[in-house]
């Protein structure tokens, strides 16, 4: 009965969403009071009905109701309660219901009108949000119904992918969707703004909290997903540039650009059309990401579905929305009679330049994600676009953004004169160089890119603190401090951990010991245990450092229901650094394959991301003033958190010839794809094939072969697909030149636009 009720509620919600779009479309101009009451009521009722349907789905999972096909395919009676609940959105149908619920949630929040929006503006927002809800709820009901019944009713379920049976994956999707789908309300704000008679700074003030809210949730969701992959997959990495990872990163980058653009619009009244366009593109990329995940184009642990028919349905749906929204934008552009002029060394220009870099990054990631699919469809050629490509194209732009971000705080708006003493800046520069040099020596950083990353991280951290503590007019806010400080921590953690990490992989006997970066690690044996729905082999390791002994217990879990094995890494945290141990294959009763990493400062990656989200949260509630004493506490807390960076670091890494060879092997392994795991390199993968390929790489390096010869060897046997850095040839020219073309085209448009404005101002002065 409840299942049929949930189905009815979904159908009714789709109909109500259609009315929510249709009624304002035809009757808004009549300005009837009934519309002002009716449309918000429809949005609220749709949200209520989808909430009840989602609650019924969760209850079905909790009760292990295998009469529901979705429950049967993604649950089991032996699963812990948390994973029964998370199983409701750990599949295509359930996640689509979550998608629709989040979309209706934002419409419901707008209907409450706590922002005191004008009558026309609020109704238009709900109208466009209703159009979105109608399309996706209809797709949910007809193409992805989570309440399809089974007959006869199975006695037991198939179970959930063991990789998804983790607390991180219980919370990662809801946060990600609150951001990912939350951009739908920004889309609705943008289109409603095109119908607003006074599209000005008030629009920016009204839309900015929704952009921030979506951006905060998206930041937290991506961070949770990254940390889950780090400790659950047993590969020791925090980002692989997987197509599905990129699908969530692209909207985040665009939302970041939109936040900076809205700031310019709110302060100066500029970039109105650009804000509208970014708002449309941000949610468009969210929809494109949904198509990538659910179309069957890729094979990934992230992918929800492998159904081309559903992919065509989604592609048709998002094509309609994207074409319609861009058409509305083209027909109703915002024109401003005000001509603005700014100097190149002004806050305006630096924020616009920031936007240019972010959009270039967006296009680069987008092309890198879809180009291999497009090339394979039209030519049959298979190439891989992985970390090496993005390291060359994206990372330099990230560094430039990080350099310009704190500098913009010092600069004035518009064409005001800058009257500042730059002696303090010279002192700050010396401090930054000194800190970078100390970090270089202490962690034996051997990569130019990583050293540059360390310099950039200290640059942004030191300047952010200076602007926050300064009493000058360019004083930064708490949100600006945390946002930039978090970015600095992220870059510092990534730069040091990538360059200075050490790893050990070999067969270890019980009671044997290995030393890595000053840590003495002893293998004490393996225990066989039984969990709630798995059988586990648990390794016992003792870790000694500076007379402090700790114990780590990595696991290999076998899930009988799913018939699969997972790796549970054991991690020891010391002053933002990790000892990371993975238990591999069993050789015999006394010998196991063991892999150990030492990853200095890697925890700063996720701390930095959370600090960035905290900065956004403070900005969201910026109307609540922070007392001076609270600011002092904030500074003391941050200083306390960063003290271990200089006070408790571990023994420096040696830089002898052996380590140089090991680093070269490690670098080559990171450029070769594991053909078993698909989304991992052979350096990260724990598969038997990856282990064999790592052995081949080692032999070839020790025999004196060059990197090119080694890559050629693998390409000839497995094709170009195995090399993660795509070759430079005629069919990859677009891929490699996209960043350059987009950047210089954008720079040309900015300079041309500014030149025209200067000319108009000069003409008007002469008149």
Torsion region of 286: left, alpha or beta (phi above 0 gives left; psi -120 to 50 gives alpha) = alpha
pLDDT at position 416 is 47
pLDDT band at 645 (very low <50, low <70, confident <90, very high): very low
pLDDT at position 106 is 95
pLDDT per residue as tens digits for the range 16-29: 999 999 988 887 66
Residue by residue, DSSP assigns 709-733 as: HHHHHHHHHH-GGGBSS---SGGGH
Mean pLDDT of the chain: 81
pLDDT band at 643 (very low <50, low <70, confident <90, very high): very low
Return the percentage of the chain with pLDDT > 90, whole number: 30
Under 8 Å between Cβ of 259 and 179: no
Cis peptide preceding 152, ω within 30 of 0: yes
| 198-125-118 Cα angle (round to 5) | 45
Return the percentage of the chain with pLDDT > 70, whole number: 83
pLDDT band at 32 (very low <50, low <70, confident <90, very high): low
Q: Where are the alpha helices (DSSP H) in 28-65?
A: 33-62
pLDDT per residue as tens digits for the range 455-502: 999 999 988 888 777 755 555 578 888 888 999 999 999 999 988 888
Global pTM reads 0.86
Q: Which of 331-335, 357-361, 533-537 has the lowest mean pLDDT?
A: 331-335
Phi/psi for 645 (5° steps) reads: -60, -30
pLDDT at position 358 is 92
pLDDT per residue as tens digits for the range 50-70: 999 999 999 999 998 888 888
CATH class of 664-722: mainly alpha
Q: Which residues of 622-639 are buried (b: 16+ CB within 10 A; e: fewer)?
A: eeeeeeeeeeeebeeebe
Which position has the higher pLDDT, 504 or 622?
504
DSSP bridge pairs for 536: 529, 557
pLDDT at position 111 is 92
Q: Check whether 751 has a pLDDT greater than 50.
A: yes
Where do you find CATH 1.10.8.640 in the chain?
Answer: 664-722
pLDDT per residue as tens digits for the range 682-732: 776 766 777 778 888 888 888 888 888 888 888 878 887 788 788 888 778
Q: Which residues of 732-762 are buried (b: 16+ CB within 10 A; e: fewer)?
A: beebbebbeebbeebeeebeeebeeeeeeee
Q: Check whether 445 has a pLDDT greater than 80.
A: yes
Q: Which of 107-116, 317-326, 684-693, 714-723 has the lowest mean pLDDT?
A: 684-693
Q: Check whether 161 has a pLDDT greater than 90.
A: no
Q: Check whether 337 has a pLDDT greater than 70.
A: no
Q: Check whether 638 has a pLDDT greater than 50.
A: no
Under 8 Å between Cβ of 389 and 368: yes
């Amino acid at each position: 009965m409840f299942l049929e009720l949930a189905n009815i509620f979904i159908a009714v919600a789709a109909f109500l969403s259609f009315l929510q779009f249709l009624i304002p479309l035809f009757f808004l101009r009549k300005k009837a009071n009934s519309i002002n009451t009716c449309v918000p009521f429809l949005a609220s009722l749709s949200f209520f009905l989808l909430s009840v349907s989602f609650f019924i789905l969760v209850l079905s999972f909790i009760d292990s109701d295998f009469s529901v096909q979705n429950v049967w395919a993604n649950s089991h009676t032996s699963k812990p309660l948390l994973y029964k609940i998370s199983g409701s959105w750990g599949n295509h149908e359930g996640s689509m219901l979550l998608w629709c619920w989040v979309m209706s949630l934002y419409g419901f929040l707008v209907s409450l009108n706590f922002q005191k929006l004008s009558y026309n503006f609020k109704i238009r927002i709900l109208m466009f949000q209703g159009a979105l809800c109608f399309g996706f709820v209809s797709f949910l009901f007809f193409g992805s119904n989570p309440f399809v019944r089974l007959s006869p009713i199975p006695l037991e379920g198939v179970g959930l992918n063991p990789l998804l049976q983790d607390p991180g994956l219980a919370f990662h999707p809801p946060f990600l969707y609150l951001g990912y789908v939350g951009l739908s309300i920004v889309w609705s704000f943008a289109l409603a703004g095109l119908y607003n008679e006074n599209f000005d700074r008030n629009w920016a003030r009204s839309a900015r909290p929704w952009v921030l809210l979506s951006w905060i949730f998206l930041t937290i969701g991506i961070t949770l997903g990254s940390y889950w992959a780090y400790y659950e997959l047993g590969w020791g990495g925090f980002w692989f540039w997987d197509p599905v990872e990129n699908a969530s990163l692209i909207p985040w980058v665009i939302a970041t650009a939109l936040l900076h653009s809205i700031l310019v619009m709110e302060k100066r009244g500029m970039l109105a059309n650009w804000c509208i366009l970014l708002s449309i593109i941000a949610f468009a990329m969210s929809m494109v990401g949904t198509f990538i995940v659910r179309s069957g184009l890729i094979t990934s642990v992230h992918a929800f579905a492998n159904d081309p028919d559903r992919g065509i349905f989604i592609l048709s749906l998002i094509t309609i929305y994207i074409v319609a929204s861009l058409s509305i934008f083209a027909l109703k552009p915002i024109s401003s009679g005000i001509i603005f002029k700014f100097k190149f060394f002004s806050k305006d220009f630096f924020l616009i330049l920031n936007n240019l870099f972010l959009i270039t990054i967006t296009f680069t990631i987008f092309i890198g994600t879809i180009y291999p699919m497009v090339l394979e469809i039209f030519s049959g050629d298979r190439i891989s676009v992985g970390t090496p490509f993005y390291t060359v194209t994206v990372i330099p732009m990230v560094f430039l953004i990080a350099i310009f971000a704190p500098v913009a705080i010092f600069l004035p708006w518009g064409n005001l004169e800058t009257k500042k003493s730059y002696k303090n800046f010279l002192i700050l520069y010396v401090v930054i160089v000194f800190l970078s040099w100390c970090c270089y020596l202490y962690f034996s950083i051997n990569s130019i890119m990583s050293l540059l990353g360390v310099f950039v991280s200290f640059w942004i951290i030191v300047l952010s603190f200076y602007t926050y503590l300064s009493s000058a007019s360019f004083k930064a806010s708490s949100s600006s401090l945390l946002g930039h400080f978090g970015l600095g921590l992220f870059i510092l953690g990534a730069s040091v951990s990538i360059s200075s990490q050490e790893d050990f992989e070999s067969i270890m006997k019980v009671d044997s010991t290995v030393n890595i970066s000053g840590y003495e690690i002893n293998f004490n044996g393996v225990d066989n245990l039984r969990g709630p729905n798995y059988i586990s082999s648990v390794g016992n390791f003792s870790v000694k450092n500076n007379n402090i002994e700790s114990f780590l217990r990595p696991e290999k879990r076998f899930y009988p229901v799913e018939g699969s094995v997972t790796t549970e890494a054991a991690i020891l945290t010391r002053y933002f650094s990790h000892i990371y141990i993975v238990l591999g294959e069993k050789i015999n009763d006394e010998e196991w394959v063991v892999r150990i990493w030492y990853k200095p400062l890697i925890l700063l990656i996720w701390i930095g991301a959370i600090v960035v989200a905290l900065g956004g949260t403070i900005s969201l509630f910026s109307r609540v003033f922070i007392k001076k004493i609270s600011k002092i506490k904030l500074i003391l807390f941050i200083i306390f958190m960063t003290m271990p960076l200089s006070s408790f670091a571990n023994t420096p890494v040696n830089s002898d010839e052996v380590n140089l060879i090991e680093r070269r092997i490690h670098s080559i392994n990171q450029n070769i794809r594991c053909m078993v795991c698909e989304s991992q390199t052979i350096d990260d993968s724990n598969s038997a094939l990856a282990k064999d390929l790592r052995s081949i790489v080692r032999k070839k390096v020790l025999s004196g072969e060059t990197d090119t010869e080694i890559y050629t060897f693998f390409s000839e046997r497995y094709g170009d697909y195995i090399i993660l850095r795509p070759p430079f040839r005629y069919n990859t020219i677009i891929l490699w030149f996209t960043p350059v073309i987009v950047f210089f085209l954008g720079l040309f448009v900015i300079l041309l636009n500014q030149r025209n404005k200067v000319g108009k101002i000069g003409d008007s002065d002469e008149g």
